Amino acid sequence: MNHLCRSDRSVGGRFQAGLTLIEVLAAVLVLGVIVALGGPSFAVFVQNTRVESRTSAVLQVVNQARAEATAQRRPVSVCGSLNGLACSNDAAAWSTRVISFVDCNGNGTLDAPVAAPACSDRLLFDIENGSPGVTTAVNGFNNNRFGFNTQGFLLNPTTGTIRFCDGRGATAARAWVMSATGRLTAATDTNNPADGVVNDHATNNIACP
């Protein structure tokens, strides 16, 4: 009588499934192909998520600052900071943290409290950069900061840009463009023909370090 060959082994009257060397090698090969194909896509997904997270966080601070200015009937300023206690003139400070504060005299400086003031500067929001590899910077604003008056308009009417970059350079950059009224809109590629890089408030391509 002919017997069929099996790769299963009988142990104690029960069959125990097993894999041949060829099957193991085939499985490893398939897994390698999947990883090779999916790896770059996943890396890009992570990078995009970090940029979007940072973009959303800064946008939230700016929008809340504008809302606080109208709600409290006090000027509110936004700036980059190295320590969360004072503004920095360095545009790169925006990559460390961003703060907003009640700015009673509208001078763009978080002044120390004074005795029995009618209005005293105070910190409202302080966010650190929680997106590794993402840099934030501004341009177009005096001393790299801006503030809102009690109507929600810019204290010093101008236009400017807040931009976000990572190691991929300008083609992956994101930005917000601020109008003289204090309204932010997402930057787009306004070049004709389009070159894949969004443009700032002066219609120049966003530049990444």
Can you give the pLDDT at residue 157? 85
* Mean pLDDT (10-residue bins), the chain, 209 residues: 46 54 75 61 87 94 95 95 92 92 93 77 92 93 94 92 95 94 94 95 93
The ranges assigned to domains in the chain are 20-132+143-156
Can you give the pLDDT at residue 40? 63
Q: Distance (Å, rounded) from C-alpha 99 to C-alpha 124?
A: 7
Contact yes or no for 89/134 (Cβ under 8 A): no
- Cα Rg of the chain, angstroms: 28
Could you identify the residue written with the tokens 């193991």? 24
Can you give the pLDDT at residue 38? 55
**Among the listed residues 99, 112, 83, 209, the one whose alpha carbon sits nearest the alpha carbon of residue 144:** 99
Element (H, E) at 71: helix 21-72
Can you give the pLDDT at residue 14? 47
**Among the listed residues 145, 137, 126, 142, the one whose alpha carbon sits nearest the alpha carbon of residue 55:** 137
Question: What's the chain's length in residues?
Answer: 209
